[in-house]
Chains A and B, each alone.
Chain A
Amino acid sequence: METLLQQIINGLSLGAIYALIALGYTMVYGVLRLINFAHGDVYMLGAFSGYYLAHALGLDGNPSVLGAIVVTIGAMAFCAIVGMLIERFAYKPVRHHPRLTALITAIGVSLLLEYGGQVVFGATPRFFPQMIESRTYALGGVQITNQNLLIILVAVVVMFGLEFIVHRTRIGKAMRATSYNLQVAKLMGINTDRVIAFTFALGSALAAAGGVLVALAIPRIDPLMGLMTGLKAFVAAVLGGIGSIPGAMVGGVLIGLMETGLSATAYSTYRDAVAFGVLILILVVRPAGIFGSTAVEKV
C-alpha cells in the first residue's frame, strides 16, 4: 500500500512536468494546427538559461527560495522571447504553406536547437546548481521531497491560471476565436499575429518553468533532454485531447503514473516505450483523446 502511494506521488510529479510541457503543445496546436516539434527543446533552453542565469547572479553556492524564483522567472522570460522569435522567423513564413511544410520546418527548428545547444553548451551534461535545499517529508511511510511538491503545486496553479486566461480574458477570447477559425478571426478585427505570438510566448514560458523545476529536482541537464520529454509530453497532450487544457494536465499525469508504475516492475527497461504504446492505443480506440471532440471537416 505504501509503495503504491509512493509510486503515485512519484508519478504525479513526473506527470506534472509532462503536463506543463503538454500545455504548450496543446495551445499551439489549438491555434495553428501545428505540432511544434521544437517545444521540447524550448524546455531544454529553459533549464539551460536558468543554469546560466544562476551562475551569472552568483546564486549557485547559496540556496535561496528568492533566488530560485528569480531564476525561474528569468528563464521564463528568456524562453518566451525565444518562442516568439521562432514563430516570427521560422513558422510565420510558412504559415500559409501546406501543413507538411510547416511540420518539416518545426523539425528543422527542433534540430537547430538541439545541435546548436550541443555546439554552444557542449554535449556533456551539466549540473544545475542546488537552489532550494532539498527536504524530504515523510507522511506515514510515503516520502516526498519539497522539489516534487513544488513541481506539482506549480503545475496545478499554472493550469488554473491558463484556464482563467483562456476563458476569462480578452486575449483568451481572441485565442479561442483564432483557434476556431484563423481567417474569420482576422476578419473580425482580431490581430491574429499578436494572438499567435502570445500563444508561443505563453507556451514557451511554461516549458521554461518546467525545465527549471525539473533541473531543481534532477540537476543533470543536457542539450538533448527535451527530445524524449517533449515527445512524451506531446503524447500526453494527444491522450488528454489535443487543444484541451485540462486534457493536457490529465494526459501528463496519466503518462507519468504509467511510467513510474512500470519502473517498479520487471519491465522497467520498457519505460521509454510506454508513452508511444499508449499513443498507438489511443489512436485505435479514441483518436480525439479523453477531453477532445472529433472535428468534422466541412465539405
Chain B
Amino acid sequence: MPVGRKLFFITLAIVALAVLDQLFERGFGDLRINPYYARIVSLAGINITLAVSLTLINGLAGQFSIGHAGFMAVGGYAGTYLTVYHGAAIASFLGGTPLEGPGSVLVMIASLAVAACAAGLAGLVVGIPSLRLRGDYLAIVTLGFGEIIRVIILNIPAVGGATGFTAALPITSFFWIFGVALLTIVVVRNIATSTFGRALGAIRTDEIAAEAMGIQTTRYKVAAFVISSALAGMAGALWGQLFANPLNPQNLNFVKSIEVIIMIVLGGLGSITGAVLGATTLTVLPEALRTFDQQFPGLRMVLYALLLILLMIYRPQGIMGRRELSFAWLRRSTRDDGPAAPAAGAGKDAADG
C-alpha cells in the first residue's frame, strides 16, 4: 500500500474511532448508548486485543502459552502505576490532568507504551528459556509465570497488594480500546501474511524442516512471544484503568488466561477473524446468561469446560478453522459457490492443527 493511502486509512480510522468514542462515552444529544451495553462493548474490545495477540503465539507459531493473563497483569500494573504516580506530571506537559484536557492523551499513550514495554520484557524473560524446548513446557512455564506475577504483586504495597490497585484512575475510553484492538489486528495480520508469518507457520508444522531451511526457530518464537505479550500488556493497561478497581491479583489468574484460550479455540486457532469472533461471543454470552448464572451459580464455568472438551473432540478447528474473512475470500466463495477452497483449509486443520 502506498504511503498516501496508508495515511488516509489511518486518518479515517482515527476519525471513526473519535465519532464512536463520542457516541459511546457521552452520546450525541439524545442519542445515547445504554452504559451497560457500552461497557460490554468495551470489554469485547479488550478481549479482542487479548485473543488476537494470543493468536500470534498459539495460533500462528503453534507454541502453547496459557499465561496470557500474567502478561496482561504485568502491563496493567505497570501502565496503571505510571498513571497513578506520574500521570499528573506527564499531563502537565500538554496541560490538563490525566482525566481531562490534551494532557490526558499523553498520559494514555505513555501508560500504554510502558505497559507494552514491561509486558514485552516479561515475555522475553519467560520466552527465552522455555521456547528453546518443545511446546508443552511453554504451557507449564507460562502458567507458573502467572503465579509468580500474582505472588509478586501481592508483595508490592505501592500497587495495593492483595486488596487490588484501588488508586487506579478510569482513563480508558472507547477510542483507546478500539484503537489498540485495531492496532493489534493490523500488527498480527501483517505478520501473518508476511514472510515471517510463513516462517512461523513452518515452525508450527515442522520445526526440524524449518531449521533446515535456515529459519532461526528460537529467535522467531521468542519474537512472536514478545510481541504477543506486549500487546496483551496494552490490553491489561486498558482494562486496569477502565472502571473502579479491576486490578486485583484474583482477577488476573489462570482462569482469565483460560478464557482467552477458549476464545481463540472457539473461533478457530490461527484465524484472526476467528479470534475476534470468539472474543466477542465469549464477552456477550456470559452477559446473556447472567440470569442463568444467578440461578445456577458456577454452572456457566462447567459449561465452558464441557464446551472446550467437546470442541477439541468434535471440531478442533473451531468456527473458522484457519480461514480469514477477507474481501478476496468473500468474492471467491460467492463466485464458485463450491466448498473446494474453504473446505480444504478446514479439513487440513483437523489433521495437522
Contacts and interface: CB of A to CB of B under 8 A. Distances in A.
**A–B direct touch in complex (beta carbons closer than 8 A):** yes
A137 interface: no
B37 to A, nearest CB: 28
Interface in A113-131: 114-116, 118-119, 123
B158 interface: no
Nearest to B130: A283
A112 B312 contact: no
B353 interface: yes
Interface in B274-291: none
Interface in B246-299: 254, 258, 261, 265, 269, 296-299
Interface string B297-326: 111011011101100110010000000000
A12 B71 CA distance: 34
B148 interface: yes
A299 B207 CA distance: 11
A112 B145 CA distance: 23
Given A35-B136, A276-B148, A283 B312 contact: no
Contacts of B96: none
B129 A111 contact: no
B353 A101 contact: yes
A96 to B, nearest CB: 9
Give chain A's interface residue range (CB within 8 Å of chain B): 35 or more
A279 B141 contact: yes
B126 A35 contact: no
A238 interface: yes
Contact of B316 (A101, A115, A116): A101
A270 B151 contact: yes
A245 interface: no
A102 to B, nearest CB: 8
A280 B135 contact: no
Interface string A267-299: 001101101110110011001000000000101
16 contacts: A93-B313, A97-B312, A97-B316, A100-B62, A101-B312, A104-B261, A104-B308, A105-B312, A111-B258, A112-B309, A115-B301, A118-B298, A228-B147, A269-B155, A279-B144, A283-B133
Interface of A: 35, 90, 93-94, 97-105, 107-109, 111-112, 114-116, 118-119, 123, 227-228, 231, 234-235, 238, 269-270, 272-273, 275-277, 279-280, 283-284, 287, 297, 299
